Structure 1
Amino acid sequence: MKIVFILPYFGKFPNYFPLWLKSCQYNPEIDWIIFTDDRSSYDYPPNVKVNYMNFEELQEYIQSCYDYPIQLNKPYDICAFRVAYGELFSEYIKQYDFWGYCDNDLIWGNFNSMIEEYVYKEYDKISWRGHMTLFRNNQDINAIYKMNLSGIPSYKENITSELGYYFIDEVGINYYFKTVGIPIYENVPFADLKIRSYNFKLLHYKSEDDYKNDYQVFVWDSGSLYRYYLDKERHIQREEFLYIHFLKRPMKVDLKIDYDGKFLIVPNRFLPYQEITVDLLLKYGRNRIYFSYWLPRLKLSFLIRKIKYKYTHRFRKRMSYSPNRSV
């Protein structure tokens, strides 16, 4: 099974980008294609192919794929075009069975151990989140975003609106699959961190599993990603995940270049590996005020942007897709 992720990214990569690359390297059966203007010297592994361009060049490239003017004014607007990558970048992905989009504010675990072979055979769409989604690479699936559904603005309206995209994006596309009856594989074991909490709190959990969120750390070990947590009797338990998503969370890197293929992930830093003990889990489970998150949100300029965002995305919020599930 040949799989590729497409990642346009403009601006400086996160400070832990070398760790992201390392986690890609340990998945040699997966390829990544990056379009970026960050020409910093990184040790790109063979399965990560980088194409240097500036944002204006990408604007011109994507505009050339349409015979009407589009709204692509800033790098964040690329999110509205993610669902069209299968067609926009068709020349880059001809040899692949699946293509996808992903973020780089995450660390990968082991694809082979986390997604079984039958999933690729039985599902045309794997996952339902913007930080990682795969699509079967065929003409019908690649064009599903262009379908006209009753009561839904067309994709043309979506990418030409001066208000900005408001439905058919990485989240809204799930509604299309659901409406036409194409099942989505939802049971991808990812660790999506809550943005408002200093401590690691995972989203998309059923209430009966919330105790796992109280005291937890993660360990990346030679390509595999594990969460260690305390159960209700305060015994140490371990779960494996496909990736951990930091959701733009600031992370400090307290690692040397040579970290022996194993490191510890705690709020909010990467550390040399330590033995996982009850005391260590209790230490990093202590609640703290998340100043780096809340202080910028007290500024008037942020509040104005937030109100504008909610207004322009009101339709998308009303129609969004979020399965009731536990990982």
Structure 2
Amino acid sequence: MNSTIDFLICTDQKVDSNAANIKVFTTNLLEIKKRIEELVKFKVCLSSPRKLCDYKGLYGLIFQEYTKNYDFWGFCDSDLIFGNIRTFLTDDILNNYDHILGLGHFQLQRTSDTKYFDVIKQSHGMGKNPYWLNKFSIEGFVLDTGLDWKSVFTTEKNQVFDELPYGVAAKYYELYPNLFWSGHNENNRCFDDVDSRYCYFSDIYNTYSKYCDSGYLLLSKIFPLWKREKPSNPDLNAVIYRKKGKHLFRIGKGYNGKLIEQELLYVHFLHRKMKVKTNDYVSFLIVPNRFINDRKFNLFLFFFYAFRIEHKWNIYIAKLQHFLGRIKEKYYE
């Protein structure tokens, strides 16, 4: 399972790993805060795990004793299922790009890139810019109008400094577009970010009808990497996923009524409470909102798995919990 790529888990929890490519480093927020302050030379805010998002772009620098001997370092979320990373991040991409992918789920950065810390210092957080824009209006969205990097690190509120359309990735793309590989093209992107607003599994960018009513389309005026073309055949909309060894596939109904499998780099399950209903961790199906045993299925079973009604209640409950959590977070700011 991606055995040629090493993972480092920095945690204050007890985590056991028997995998040769997974290392566990025991630490805590206070120790990480000290590491950040030693790097940037000023006091920073880090009182909750959520604020770590703004510091993701520093991980390769503050954990340099672990990353210095690698060609690339990176970070990823813990709610991902990876496919075969090497299938997508080929030697050609690794040889020609310094900053790879631009969203907070998964990014890579060339270790020997001497200009990287200067990019960080020129980057801006969200500030007063609305996240994904207010009612998807491009008006008023201007790069570099958010908080500067020092202000991002000295405020408790998360500033989306780890991903487009803000932060280090946005500035890197602005300054060095030819060295930035986003994983997006005019037809699709190589991963799925499952939208939590839907009961079924659907990625906004990879579904053209949804893309046309999203911030991706409007922001493509600023970030051309997000410009899509209308496909000759409809995109897969509601999908399920199959993990088969080190490979990951998106499965959906094609325009001709037949099931189609498309290989992915990873899938991101944001705000999804998933249940594990299988003992096979090598090959399995991922349906809303559970992991189940792999099996052969036809179109009828596909619709059964993709649109089971019980999943709707789970999503509604999760949305309510998330909404109440945001109210609590706002109250204590």
Ranges in structure 2 where 5+ consecutive residues have no aligned partner: 125-143, 184-188, 210-230
Matching residue's letter, 2:291: F
Q: Shift of the alpha carbon at 1:307? A: 6.2
| Residue 167 to residue 265, structure 1, CA distance change in 2 (3 Å) | closer
Q: TM-score w.r.t. structure 1 length?
A: 0.77
SS of the residue aligned with 1:213?
A: coil
What SS class does the counterpart of residue 291 from structure 2 fall into? strand
Q: 1:266 aligns with which of 277, 287, 294?
A: 287
Q: Which residue of 2 aligns with 1:295?
A: 317
Equivalent residue in structure 2 for 1:276, among 293, 297, 303: 297
Give the partner amino acid of 2:196.
Answer: I
**8 A contact 1:114–1:242 mirrored in 2:** yes
Deviations 1:140-170 (A, max 9, x none): 12442113786553311110125x2435333
Inter-partner Cα distance in structure 1 for 2:314 and 2:234: 25
Q: 2:152, 2:173 → 1: CA distance?
A: 19
2:192 alignment partner in structure 1: 191
Question: In structure 1, what is the Cα distance between the partners aligned to 2:245 and 2:38?
Answer: 42
Q: Secondary structure at the match of 1:263?
A: strand
Alpha-carbon spacing, 1:197–1:306, altered in 2? closer, same or farther (3 Å):
farther
Letter aligned with residue 74 of structure 2: G
Name the structure 2 match of 1:32.
Answer: 7
CA contact (8 A) 1:124 1:182 kept: no
Q: 1:81 touches 1:169 (CA, 8 Å); kept in 2? A: yes
Matched with 1:18 is: none
Question: How does 1:165-244 map onto structure 2 within 5 Å?
Answer: 165-166=158-159, 168-171=161-164, 172=166, 173-183=168-178, 184-187=180-183, 189-205=190-206, 206-207=208-209, 208=231, 211-214=235-238, 216-244=239-267
The one of 64, 72, 87 equivalent to 2:61 is 87
Q: Distance in 2 between matches of 1:270 and 1:83?
A: 31
Q: List per-residue Cα deviations over 1:160-206 (Å, max 9, x = no partner).
A: 125x2435333322220132133321225111111122211122122
Are 1:102 and 1:133, in contact at CA under 8 Å, matched by a contact in 2? yes
Aligned partners of 2:123 and 2:171 also within 8 Å: no
Deviation at 1:123, TM superposition (A): 1.1
State the aligned residue count: 280
For the Cα contact (< 8 Å) 1:135–1:142, is it kept in 2?
no
Q: Is the 8 A contact 2:17 2:23 kept in 1?
A: no
Which amino acid in the other structure matches residue 28 of structure 2?
Answer: N
Match of 1:315 in 2: none
In structure 1, distance between residues paired with 2:241 and 2:147 = 41
Q: Does 1:146 align with 2:121?
A: yes
Q: Which residue of 2 aligns with 1:304?
A: 327
CA contact (8 A) 2:272 2:318 kept: no
Structure 1: unaligned runs, 5 residues or longer: 1-25, 313-327
Q: Distance in 1 between matches of 2:57 and 2:17?
A: 29
Are the structure 2 counterparts of residues 85 and 260 from structure 1 closer, same or farther at C-alpha, using a change threshold of 3 Å? closer
Q: 1:98 aligns with which of 72, 79, 89?
A: 72
Q: Structure 2 vs 1, CA of residues 57 and 210 (structure 1 numbering), >3 Å: closer, same or farther?
A: farther
For 2:130, the equivalent position in structure 1 comes to none
SS in 2 for 1:104: coil
8 Å CA contact retained: 2:234, 2:254: no
Deviation, structure 1 residue 305: 4.7
Higher percent of residues as strand? 1
Measure, in 1, the Cα distance between the counterparts of 2:200 and 2:68: 42
SS at match of 2:102: strand
Letter in 2 for 1:268: N
- 2:20 match: secondary structure: coil
Identity %: 28
Cα distance, 1:276 vs. partner?
Answer: 3.0
CA RMSD in angstroms comes to: 2.6
Structure 1, residues 187-235: CA drift from partner, whole Å, max 9, x if none?
A: 2511111112221112212235765113x22111111001221112211
